[in-house]
A and B are shown apart, each in its own frame.
Chain A
């Protein structure tokens, strides 16, 4: 039973929750199956070979006490709980597990060299700022023009990432070189959304004609066992997208009728 921390205590500002009984390293991930940031974290755990408990939060339901206590600042997933300590924000989590879980059976995600690490961090920030924003505009744009603008931006971002992949991979299969690295995982969080978007639009986000390296990377990354082990069901994502779209359309229609 997790002790309940009253919201008035200073602890509410600290991403920390008291430990449950457990031996050795206890890893729990609070997630939501459709979230690209959760997928990113699951990919990192999968590629590092880290077993953990996965706890699903409801999409449209109430947030659990565990989530509210362990991420009181944002109340969002993913949250990693390691021996009772909560770590929030997907990129922070991935770096944390990379630093803590090392050894011959735990491949490093970030490069060893500080400069290569800086480059990886730069592009990971770019992915979250630009790619995510363009996807959100595509999905949530109020008008078809705004959505189209989002799609145009996403193609521009993909072209920039194509250049990054060419430079960083140096002809090898991944951003990380021969093996999947931090940046592959940063981008990898979005592969389920990309699949979904491709099905819904009937065209490819990572078009082999415009961004051949990215298109090849996408197929290759999705075919890996460690990716397949955590990929959400894309058909379910398509259904969810259609349901969300119908709900947004109904809400917009109600607003325009009442005004």
Chain B
């Protein structure tokens, strides 16, 4: 696919996954059209281009469609010129993919569930999140970003721990990533949200707070349903 073909990104307000894809395009300097979905009322465009999951983000590049945020980030990195998002070295790339998988499955899942569950179940999720965030934080190892001096794949994977965490903390009162417990992650979050490319794609904190507040009940029901399924796994 020629780099010159038009690029469209189907996203939605508040989606950290759409944010990842959008920042990747911004970092590469790729012009694109952003199409915002109403997730309560999904468009035919979204449903036809992501029939498997019906979810954002979806990247349309000419006639081609790419789904799954981290798959999109790799695709953007491989297709367009500009600063590399993944490391050049194969072993470092493997490490980045490993930690992105870890973030997705061992950090973000329990992190999200910590916000919307209660009692003993919530305490367990919070413990699990904190243990795993400790392991993740060690990967920063004094660097500005997970990617080193510049933002990379792993920083995009971790984006929810920045802006979204603060908004969720305000709505739910659940505080996970504190300055005392995770000083490096907090420092990273400030660097991340100060970055020029990121700022252009970041939902405003107070709007996120309103958004999460509006959908609180729905998130609580989903979280509790997922918990009862989780016991099977």
- Report A's interface with B, CB cutoff 8 A: 10, 13, 15, 73, 82, 85, 87-89, 91-93, 95-96, 99-100, 114-115, 117-119, 121-122, 125-126, 133, 136-137, 140-142, 146, 160
- CB A107 to nearest CB in B, in angstroms, measures 17
Chain B residues touching A, range? 20 to 34
Interface: B67 (CB within 8 A): yes
For B53, the closest partner residue in chain A by CB is A126
Interface: B225 (CB within 8 A): no
Q: Report yes or no: B78 in contact with A117, Cβ–Cβ below 8 A.
A: yes
Q: Report yes or no: A137 in contact with B232, Cβ–Cβ below 8 A.
A: yes
Beyond A13-B135, A92-B101, A142-B231, 10 extra complex contacts between A and B, CB < 8 Å:
A10-B141, A89-B101, A95-B93, A95-B94, A114-B78, A114-B79, A122-B67, A125-B68, A133-B233, A146-B232
Q: Report yes or no: B71 in contact with A118, Cβ–Cβ below 8 A.
A: yes
CA gap between A106 and B138 in the complex, in Å: 36
For B75, the closest partner residue in chain A by CB is A118
Known interface pairs A115-B66, A146-B232. Does A15 touch B98 (Cβ–Cβ under 8 Å)?
yes
The residue that B102 contacts in the complex, of A73, A100, A137, A141, with Cβ under 8 A, is: A73
Known interface pairs A89-B98, A92-B97, A117-B78. Does A160 touch B68 (Cβ–Cβ under 8 Å)?
no
Q: Report yes or no: B71 in contact with A121, Cβ–Cβ below 8 A.
A: yes
Q: Report yes or no: B74 in contact with A121, Cβ–Cβ below 8 A.
A: yes
Q: Report yes or no: B1 in contact with A115, Cβ–Cβ below 8 A.
A: yes
- CB A67 to nearest CB in B, in angstroms, measures 15
CA gap between A141 and B67 in the complex, in Å: 30
Q: Report yes or no: B66 in contact with A122, Cβ–Cβ below 8 A.
A: yes
Interface: B48 (CB within 8 A): no
Q: Report yes or no: B98 in contact with A87, Cβ–Cβ below 8 A.
A: yes
Q: Report yes or no: A122 in contact with B91, Cβ–Cβ below 8 A.
A: no
Q: Report yes or no: A136 in contact with B232, Cβ–Cβ below 8 A.
A: yes
Contacts of B75 in A (CB 8 A): 114-115, 117-118
- CB A85 to nearest CB in B, in angstroms, measures 6
Known interface pairs A92-B97, A115-B1, A126-B52. Does A140 touch B91 (Cβ–Cβ under 8 Å)?
no
Contacts of A13 in B (CB 8 A): 135, 138-139
